[in-house]
Chain A
Amino acid sequence: MARLDHEVAGIRCREVLAELSDYLDGELADERVEQINAHLRGCDNCARFGGRFQAVFTAIREVLAEPAPLDDDVQRSLHDSLRREIAS
């Protein structure tokens, strides 16, 4: 089992794991991004995991991009409810 306290480019894998979302969301300072980029270039485990992590959410956004339309029963209940409210 690979170890998360492995250090590459002055950063340990556990730090990269903890900051992965911030890194992918563009929430980190440029200097920190550079440090993590350097770590990823030298750490196969983090590079592979980060790539998969990002790919999973890209795929999920594509699969679930459009919400499913309401079922007829749910639609009917909603509109009955609103009709009563508007009439009251």
Chain B
Amino acid sequence: MTTSNTTDPTLIRRSAGGDTQAFETLVRRHQASVYRFLLTVAEEEAEAQDALQECFVAAWRSAGTFSGDGSARGWLLTIARNALSRAHRRRAGEPTSFEPLEALGARAGWGSVGNPDAELDRLAARESVQRAMSALSSEEREVLTLRDLEGFSGGEVVGMLSISPSAMKSRLHRARLKLVAELKEMDDGKA
């Protein structure tokens, strides 16, 4: 039976019943998105590759636990995040450097916005964005990727990260400001 047009929840349900073709379709449909998320958040590429394998192995084993309440992509990214945490042994509450919001705003160009068109032209290069992203902490890259690249709603991201809405918003805003600051500094030739 063909599975290319089958919905994600159906693929997961059939995977839970041992249908390897359904699972392969699910993997092919979401592997690039999951890997991008892992590459964005992981400190090293090898870590992301290990977590990618662990994620889909775990998805195969736990397909029967998918409730269908949220999206399959959200379910997979949550599994991927857990896999990466295990791979990285990230410590909860690890102290991070704290730059005041106003200093971050100034660094991002508040009060000194230059030529927006020239700056935006730079963004046409995927490498520029990825280089700027690398200056963010893994938690900042994570929230930015989920919200701004993967397009999850604020509520979905809160659920995936298991943090409060205010913590998510604060982390997201700082991440965005820091990314804009890094891009500006790249444009200014300081980075």
A residues contacting B by CB (< 8 A) are 1-2, 4, 13-14, 17-18, 20-22, 25, 27, 45-46, 48-49, 51-53, 55-57, 59-61, 63-64, 66-70, 74-75, 77-78, 81-82, 85-86
Contacts and interface: CB of A to CB of B under 8 A. Distances in A.
B154 A27 contact: yes
B92 interface: no
B176 interface: yes
B76 interface: no
A48 B113 CA distance: 7
A25 B157 CA distance: 14
Contact of B111 (A22, A49, A68): A49
A27 B180 CA distance: 21
Given A22-B169, A49-B109, A67-B33, A14 B102 contact: yes
B172 A63 contact: no
Contacts of B176: 21, 53, 57
A82 B22 CA distance: 13
A2 B111 contact: yes
A59 B123 contact: yes
A77 B112 CA distance: 48
Interface of B: 20, 23, 27, 31-33, 35-36, 49, 52-53, 56-57, 60-61, 101-102, 105-106, 108-113, 116, 119-120, 123-126, 129, 148-149, 154, 169, 172-173, 176, 179-180, 183
Contact of B49 (A45, A69, A74): A74
Q: Main SS of chain B's interface residues?
A: helix
Contact of B27 (A18, A66, A69, A78): A78
A67 B77 CA distance: 14
A63 B27 CA distance: 24
Contact of A4 (B33, B105, B113): B105
B60 A70 contact: no
Nearest to A84: B57
Given A55-B120, A56-B183, A74-B35, A21 B49 contact: no
Given A45-B111, A64-B129, A74-B52, A52 B116 contact: yes
A57 B148 contact: yes
Contacts of A52: 109, 113, 116, 119, 180
A34 B35 CA distance: 41
